[in-house]
Structure 1
């Protein structure tokens, strides 16, 4: 289910949670339900409609900077901000309502979908952008004079759950909001006047380079960095650098808004790993192996150096699996993968293609005997007994070997001829290695 449809379907539970928080605000304590909810439902429906709409990268960038372009129809967020001002709400209270609305939607969304992927992650990002825009539109109603605008801007920054800070032309902090101080686990006073280099942040070099580009081009920049702060909050962050210009368009400072995207980044990595690595052994699967093999063939071609591919099948594994069960079989496969990794160099690649079939890609081959040595090392390693509890298990391996470019020029064909050589070894009595011979080419 997409987030827009979820908001419409669960709007009442979302509003009930939001209402429980809203009643804790000073100016909301004595409001009736209708007055409290006056615009929240319409705002959620407006955001849902926004999520359903097609948006360009420029639209996303515009949303991250604040309210909708002037001249558009007044939004429910703007109506809400104006009404809250008339009701005596402070800026902090109004921002808190939006924060609670964000939290209620995200909480219900994550309770329903513990793992987010693909379009659902994109929807969550767009939802945060829509809420950020709604906050900006609502608070804009409070701005009547420059003096008030300045005060309210400071209040918004202070209340923001995202770290926001301002840097001078030398990259030194001249303002940090409360969220930044909490993230850095430092007081605002100890941060002001220092740079990311002074604070010893691992991302300082890249950050300063991007900051210099923003200053030189008077343009915005979106980036990401990985860092573990002293507070222990987050590991992955995205950030936006935006220039601050005076009335004469002279560069005064840079505003940076960052956001913790650890959960999203880890979810994306998990999805990628699940698609490219074998869940049981942790080895590359067929998809990733063929991709790496294709890359190594390109490198071998440029260097005019051969590479070898070993294709192996475990002898006797089916009997073990049938007699002791799949759990014991999985344990054997996991142990086999560990032994294979110990038999090759760090630059070589071991993969599980499925079942009891494994492959090893050996790069920078100097002579045929090197491949024979690796294959024999693997045969000897797998011939050693395995143990399931106190039970001794004996298996072996049949290995087929093929070379690029001697036997094949593409990943699929190289894998195919190595497979044929493996069956030749198995027919010859198992527990041995056979090379693919050119005379077998007609069979490939």
Structure 2
């Protein structure tokens, strides 16, 4: 029987033997068993067709040396090499498929025909030549595709505007792209082989710690750092670390991608600032004040500490604003905010609620007399003339005071009590201080 016909007749038995052998040498994660069998079947059918084709002496000589017909379209072996490279097979694994295929066919053939001679021997020789040629074509195409992939990947890395690097298990740079060298403002040879600590970067300690976490946990990590590089390219950065695993699922390196987020961060901070601070005076606005009051009341409750709240309204501000103009009024509000800030401690909160209304949160104030003294200090500070529009301007303030937990045990009632006390002070006259009435 001719070998081509034998292969077709004994296809299932050959595939069974091939599968048993292939399972010992091929990684099962790449393809399903049915996928591998179908691929092997196609290879065997292609070889069978080749065995049945006519062959000149020159073609036979070329085949014996691993060469095929010149100028023909892409062969099945070349397709195989390309497929195996893209599927993640190694070179050894790719060759092993052919070894398994050769072994399964030859074992079955020689078992059926122990004494091979004549045409059967020629068929077997042509079969070996076909396998050898297929291996050569497959590996050549595998290498071509691999080289192209490497070249394209390298081009992507070089062209990437984001700094990309690969670090070894000790955190030393073993690869950097052009963007990394430009960001660090260092030549590649001065970066490769060094750690971020060796390069003297301020974020090194945290970065190295996170590298070891990625190495151990084999999970990605996203972090941020602030650094002013010599290149003057940004100062706030986000970085992504990811492990590179070998076939034994052990970490063999780490990849780092850095992204400049300076503009986004500054914009986000500006948006947040505008939403929480008074744009004229720079003091916390009503929203941030209410949030801080809530937090300070909770803190006072947990620690069983008192809390005082001052609510202030400027006396006669409208008349000054109308007579000197809004620009002068704005300058006066800015000056008032500065004097109020100078009167309190750094841990206290001075806020502008809007218009000419201000508040102060006094933390941990135990004595009522201390609060009254501070309120009087504020009255005296604001009564001193302000230099506005090259002329002295005088103003006074009415102050209402409430206490936690005496007057209220939550933020909103505490603010309301101080507000009512402030109106009582206004009714009494300018530059007055009133404490909240007992409920």
Counterpart contact for 2:225–2:237, Cα < 8 Å: yes
How far is the alpha carbon of 1:222 from its aligned partner?
A: 1.7
Give the structure 2 partner of residue 182 of structure 1: 182
Give the structure 1 partner of residue 424 of structure 2: 424
TM-score (norm 2): 0.66
How far is the alpha carbon of 1:191 from its aligned partner?
A: 1.2
In structure 2, C-alpha distance between the alignment counterparts of 1:143 and 1:434, rounded to whole Å:
88
In structure 2, C-alpha distance between the alignment counterparts of 1:381 and 1:249, rounded to whole Å:
70
Q: Report the secondary structure of 2:327's partner residue.
A: helix
Q: Report the secondary structure of 2:258's partner residue.
A: strand
Q: Report the secondary structure of 2:424's partner residue.
A: helix
How far is the alpha carbon of 1:175 from its aligned partner?
A: 1.3
In structure 1, C-alpha distance between the alignment counterparts of 2:203 and 2:307, rounded to whole Å:
38
In structure 1, C-alpha distance between the alignment counterparts of 2:143 and 2:317, rounded to whole Å:
75
How far is the alpha carbon of 1:213 from its aligned partner?
A: 1.6
Counterpart contact for 2:219–2:243, Cα < 8 Å: yes
**Cα deviation code 1:289-338 (max 9, x no counterpart):** 11011111111111111010000000111100111111110000001001
In structure 1, C-alpha distance between the alignment counterparts of 2:163 and 2:144, rounded to whole Å:
27
Q: What runs of 5+ residues in structure 2 fail to find an aligned partner? A: 1-141
How far is the alpha carbon of 1:233 from its aligned partner?
A: 0.9
Q: Report the secondary structure of 1:145's partner residue.
A: helix
**Cα deviation code 1:263-306 (max 9, x no counterpart):** 11111111111110001001000100110111111111111110
Instruction: After TM superposition, list the pairs within 5 Å mapping 1:180-329 onto structure 2.
Output: 180-329=180-329
Instruction: After TM superposition, list the pairs within 5 Å mapping 1:135-150 onto structure 2.
Output: 145-150=145-150
Counterpart contact for 2:184–2:229, Cα < 8 Å: yes
**Does residue 379 of structure 1 match 2:379?**
yes
In structure 2, C-alpha distance between the alignment counterparts of 1:149 and 1:173, rounded to whole Å:
23
Give the structure 2 partner of residue 368 of structure 1: 368
Q: Which is further off, 199-208 or 397-406? A: 199-208
In structure 2, C-alpha distance between the alignment counterparts of 1:144 and 1:313, rounded to whole Å:
80
Counterpart contact for 1:143–1:149, Cα < 8 Å: no
How far is the alpha carbon of 1:195 from its aligned partner?
A: 1.4
Give the structure 1 partner of residue 68 of structure 2: none
Give the structure 2 partner of residue 393 of structure 1: 393
Query: How many residues get paired?
Result: 298
In structure 2, C-alpha distance between the alignment counterparts of 1:337 and 1:143, rounded to whole Å:
73
Q: Report the secondary structure of 1:151's partner residue.
A: helix
In structure 1, C-alpha distance between the alignment counterparts of 2:149 and 2:373, rounded to whole Å:
75
In structure 2, C-alpha distance between the alignment counterparts of 1:407 and 1:188, rounded to whole Å:
67
In structure 1, C-alpha distance between the alignment counterparts of 2:274 and 2:344, rounded to whole Å:
24
In structure 2, C-alpha distance between the alignment counterparts of 1:194 and 1:358, rounded to whole Å:
55
TM-score (norm 1): 0.65
In structure 2, C-alpha distance between the alignment counterparts of 1:200 and 1:308, rounded to whole Å:
48
Give the structure 2 partner of residue 154 of structure 1: 154
How far is the alpha carbon of 1:143 from its aligned partner?
A: 9.7
Q: Which is further off, 345-354 or 267-276? A: 267-276
C-alpha change, 1:177 and 1:318, in structure 2 (3 Å) is same
C-alpha change, 1:215 and 1:232, in structure 2 (3 Å) is same
How far is the alpha carbon of 1:144 from its aligned partner?
A: 5.3
How far is the alpha carbon of 1:147 from its aligned partner?
A: 3.1
**Does residue 352 of structure 1 match 2:346?**
no
In structure 1, C-alpha distance between the alignment counterparts of 2:419 and 2:227, rounded to whole Å:
45
Structure with larger Rg = 2
**Does residue 433 of structure 1 match 2:428?**
no
How far is the alpha carbon of 1:352 from its aligned partner?
A: 0.1
Over the aligned positions, Cα root-mean-square deviation in angstroms equals 1.5
Q: What runs of 5+ residues in structure 1 fail to find an aligned partner? A: 1-141
Q: Which is further off, 200-209 or 296-305? A: 200-209
Give the structure 2 partner of residue 407 of structure 1: 407
Give the structure 2 partner of residue 103 of structure 1: none
